[in-house]
Amino acid sequence: MSTVTQTPCVGRPRAFDTEDALAKALEVFWRKGFEGTSLTDLTQAMGINKPSLYAAFGNKEQLFIKAIELYEQRPCAFFYPSLEQETAYQVVEAMLLGAASSLVDESHPQGCLIVQGALTCSEAGQAIKQTLINRRRDGEIALCERLQRAKDEGDLPAHADPLLLARYIGTMLQGMAVQATNGICPKELRSVAELVLTHFRDAFSKN
């Protein structure tokens, strides 16, 4: 199932690649946020006109939704793949170091689209704001469940609180996203991640 409309076999063919155009839109939303991005910004970056944008993606809001879906599937996305690590420590390590690397990767905008895409907005953007809140929550819930599994498997000690730990790691990741927009240098961000990892290992690792 593709995230974009598929081209039919009749009628004039599209002059642009929808995946490429969506990637360009993602890049703009990432830098400017949902409401900070205008349709002019989008059509210029995507190299298409407004009617083409609306025909291919619906409207600005639906385009943004498709952009965040692409965002979570892009090669450097680190969150959900981290859950598949073998141990709780390795999961957290993959997340924190992945964040420390990806959030300041200069091949794309700094920070996290899910955090900075619509942290605050006007009434018109409340639906998008809530969508991003839900995405952040979903991530923490998934981490919580992974840590609960680790506890069940004896991979985390009995005194560990999976929900609290997931909130803690989630808070750190969101804070690191803000640091990335601040322009923190990659080395410093990685040092912060490593400090958290040391804490986690000392307090919860069984090795």
Partner DNA sequence: TTAAATTTGTACCGATTGGTATATAAAATT
Partner DNA sequence: AATTTTATATACCAATCGGTACAAATTTAA
Q: Which is nearer to DNA, 35 or 145 (CB)?
A: 35
- CB-CB contact of 113 with 71 (8 Å): yes
* Min separation Cβ 177 and its own copies, Å: 8
Q: Identify which of residues 66 and 190 has a Cβ nearer to DNA in the complex.
A: 66
Q: Is 57 exposed, middle or buried (0-12, 13-18, 19+ CB in 10 A)?
A: buried
Distance from C-alpha of 89 to C-alpha of 194, rounded to nearest angstrom: 12
User: From CA 2, how far away is CA 5, in angstroms rounded?
Assistant: 7
Taking residues 119 to 158 in sequence order and writing x for each that binds DNA by CB under 7 A, - otherwise, the string is ---x------------------------------------
* Distances from the Cα of 177 to the Cα of 103, 173, 192, angstroms: 6, 6, 12
| Partner from its own copies, DNA, none contacting 144, C-beta within 5 to 8 A by type | none
Nearer to DNA, 10 or 158 (CB): 10
**Minimum distance, C-beta of residue 37 to DNA, in the bound complex (Å):** 6
Q: Decide: 68 and 33 in contact? Cβ < 8 Å.
A: no
Phi-psi region of 193 (alpha: psi -120 to 50; beta: other; left: phi over 0): alpha
- Per the CB < 8 A criterion, the answer to whether 162 and 156 are in contact is yes
27 near DNA, judged by CB under 7 A: no
The footprint of its own copies (CB under 8 A) covers 31-33, 35-38, 41, 111, 115-117, 119-122, 125, 133, 136-137, 163-164, 167-168, 170-179, 181-184, 188, 191-192, 195-196, 198-199, 202-203
The residues that touch DNA, with contacts defined as CB under 7 A, are 5, 7-16, 35, 37-41, 48-52, 54-56, 59-61, 122
